Structure 1
Amino acid sequence: MKRVSLFLILALICWAACKPKDGNSTNNGAQEQDSAIATLDLINTPYFYTRLKGTMGDKPITMQLMKTTPSVYRGFYSYDTSGQPITIWGNGDAGIVKIYEESIDPENERFFGGTLDTTGHFYGHWHGNGTSFKFDLHTDMKDALPFAVFYATDSASLMPGNPKSPLGMSTASTIWPKSVVTADIAAFVEQQITGTSIQDPQKFLRKTIDSFMVNYKSIASSADSSELNDPASAATWNWTGETEVRVVYNQWPILVIEKVKYDYTGGAHGNWGATYVTMDLSKKKVLQPSDVFKPGYKEAFVPLLEKAFRAKYRIDNDESIRETLLTPAITPNDNFMLTGKGVAFSYVPYEIGPYALGQVTLYIPFSEIKNWVK
Structure 2
Amino acid sequence: MRVPVSNSLPISCIAVVLLGGVLAACQSKTDSGAVATQLDKKFALVAPQDSPGTWYRCYRGTLGPKTITLHLQALPAGTENRTSTRFVGSYSGADGQPYELSSDYDAIITPDSVVVHDRSPELLDDNSNGPVWRLHRNGKELLGTRAGQPVQLREVELPGSTSFISLYFLDSVAAYPTQPKSVHGRTSLHVLVPTNGPEAARSALAAGMLRGLRGDSLDTNAVPSSPEQFWQQQRSAFRKEYQQSVTDLTKDRPAEPDTSTDAPSYNYMLRYEDQVATHVFWNQQNLLSLGFFAYSYTGGAHGNYGTSAVTFDTRTGRALRFPDIFRPNSDAQLSVLLEQAVRRVLHQPATTKLDEFLFVKKMPVSHNVYLTSSGAVFIYTPYEIASYARGELRVFVPQAQLRPLLKPNLPISGGEVSQR
Decide whether aligned partners of structure 1 residues 68 and 185 sit closer, same or farther in structure 2, where only a CA change above 3 A counts: farther
Whole-angstrom CA distance in 1 between matches of 2:290 and 2:26? 19
RMSD between aligned residues = 2.9
Within the candidate set 203, 222, 226, 1:187 is matched to: 203
Within the candidate set 88, 100, 112, 1:74 is matched to: 88
Match of 1:300 in 2: 333
Within the candidate set 356, 371, 378, 1:345 is matched to: 378
Q: CA deviation at 1:333?
A: 2.4
Whole-angstrom CA distance in 1 between matches of 2:128 and 2:355? 26
Q: CA deviation at 1:152?
A: 1.1
Tell whether 2:179 aligns with 1:162.
Answer: yes
CA deviation profile, 1:183-214 (whole Å, cap 9, x unmatched): 21221111112124223222222322322222
Within the candidate set 99, 111, 115, 1:98 is matched to: 115
CA deviation profile, 1:57-78 (whole Å, cap 9, x unmatched): 1111111111133311112111
Match of 1:133 in 2: 149
Identical amino acids, percent of aligned pairs: 22
The aligned runs of 1:120-269 (5 Å cut-off) are 120-127=140-147, 132-142=148-158, 143-178=160-195, 180-195=196-211, 196-224=222-250, 226-227=253-254, 229-230=256-257, 232-269=265-302
Whole-angstrom CA distance in 2 between matches of 1:19 and 1:369? 48
Within the candidate set 42, 45, 48, 2:55 is matched to: 48
Gaps of 5+ in 2: 1-8, 29-46, 78-84, 212-221, 259-264, 408-420
Decide whether aligned partners of structure 1 residues 241 and 49 sit closer, same or farther in structure 2, where only a CA change above 3 A counts: same
Whole-angstrom CA distance in 2 between matches of 1:52 and 1:19? 34
- Contact kept, 8 Å, 1:227 with 1:234, in 2: the verdict is no
SS in 2 for 1:223: helix
- Contact kept, 8 Å, 1:192 with 1:277, in 2: the verdict is no
Amino acid at match of 2:146: W
The aligned runs of 1:22-37 (5 Å cut-off) are none
Whole-angstrom CA distance in 2 between matches of 1:14 and 1:86? 35
Decide whether aligned partners of structure 1 residues 21 and 288 sit closer, same or farther in structure 2, where only a CA change above 3 A counts: farther
Whole-angstrom CA distance in 2 between matches of 1:290 and 1:144? 24
Whole-angstrom CA distance in 2 between matches of 1:358 and 1:228? 38
Decide whether aligned partners of structure 1 residues 228 and 267 sit closer, same or farther in structure 2, where only a CA change above 3 A counts: farther
Whole-angstrom CA distance in 2 between matches of 1:204 and 1:140? 30
Q: So what's the TM-score if we normalise by structure 2? A: 0.75
- Contact kept, 8 Å, 2:52 with 2:76, in 1: the verdict is no
Q: CA deviation at 1:285?
A: 2.1
Decide whether aligned partners of structure 1 residues 158 and 296 sit closer, same or farther in structure 2, where only a CA change above 3 A counts: same
Q: CA deviation at 1:240?
A: 0.9
Amino acid at match of 2:314: L
Within the candidate set 39, 44, 68, 1:61 is matched to: 68
- Contact kept, 8 Å, 2:174 with 2:183, in 1: the verdict is yes
CA deviation profile, 1:272-291 (whole Å, cap 9, x unmatched): 11101111122332213333
Match of 1:84 in 2: 97
Gaps of 5+ in 1: 23-36
Match of 1:117 in 2: 138
SS in 1 for 2:389: helix
Structure 1 or 2, whichever has the larger Rg, is: 2
Whole-angstrom CA distance in 2 between matches of 1:18 and 1:338? 35
Decide whether aligned partners of structure 1 residues 254 and 209 sit closer, same or farther in structure 2, where only a CA change above 3 A counts: same
